[in-house]
Amino acid sequence: MSKVQEILEAVKGLTVLELAELVKAFEDEFGVSAAAPVAAVAAMPAAGAAPAAAEEEQTEFDVILSAVGDKKVNVIKVVREATGLGLKESKELVDSAPKPVKEKISKEEAEALKAKLAEAGATVEIK
């Protein structure tokens, strides 16, 4: 098995959050950004449309907790893990929804956080 195949197999076993951390580590280590090519490829089919141009320029995203849902404790745990806040601060953030959980983050990190919060039972939007 080649090194590329071994790496692909290792990546397949990662969670979304671990994959987002891996992307961030690659960006830091090699001084590149994975967000720009992804945004350009996503905007290509809609070329010429004004909203697509605005979307292509956006590089920072906010993850907004819209509603907590039934599993409040799980949502608090995810917020705590994602933000590094203490238990009390995380609970206050969750109780005061709708409220931003993280602001000015990359699209990949925002998508990973949204998936994690949705899995915990929360309603989330990215702006």
pLDDT for res 85: 81
Which range, of 6-15, 35-44, 68-77, 86-95, averages the lowest pLDDT?
A: 35-44
pLDDT for res 51: 53
Which range, of 5-9, 21-25, 28-32, averages the lowest pLDDT?
A: 28-32
CA-closest candidate to residue 60, choices 100, 91, 25 = 100
pLDDT for res 41: 46
Output the pTM of the full model: 0.50
Question: Which residues contact residue 24 at a Cβ distance below 8 angstroms, ignoring those fewer than 6 apart?
Answer: 106, 108, 109
The answer on 68 and 30 residing in a single domain is no
The answer on 120 and 73 residing in a single domain is yes
- 68: containing domain: 61-126
Q: Does residue 116 surpass a pLDDT of 50?
A: yes
Kindly state whether residue 47 falls inside one of the protein's structural domains.
Answer: no
pLDDT for res 77: 87
CA separation for the pair 73, 70 (Å, rounded): 9
Kindly state whether residue 54 falls inside one of the protein's structural domains.
Answer: no
- The mean per-residue pLDDT over the stretch 99-110 comes to 84
Kindly state whether residue 77 falls inside one of the protein's structural domains.
Answer: yes
CA separation for the pair 32, 24 (Å, rounded): 10
pLDDT for res 44: 52
pLDDT for res 57: 66
- Contact (Cβ atoms closer than 8 angstroms) between residue 119 and residue 20: no
- The mean per-residue pLDDT over the stretch 33-39 comes to 55
Question: Which residues contact residue 26 at a Cβ distance below 8 angstroms, ignoring those fewer than 6 apart?
Answer: 32, 34
The answer on 68 and 28 residing in a single domain is no
- The mean per-residue pLDDT over the stretch 87-93 comes to 85
- Contact (Cβ atoms closer than 8 angstroms) between residue 19 and residue 26: no
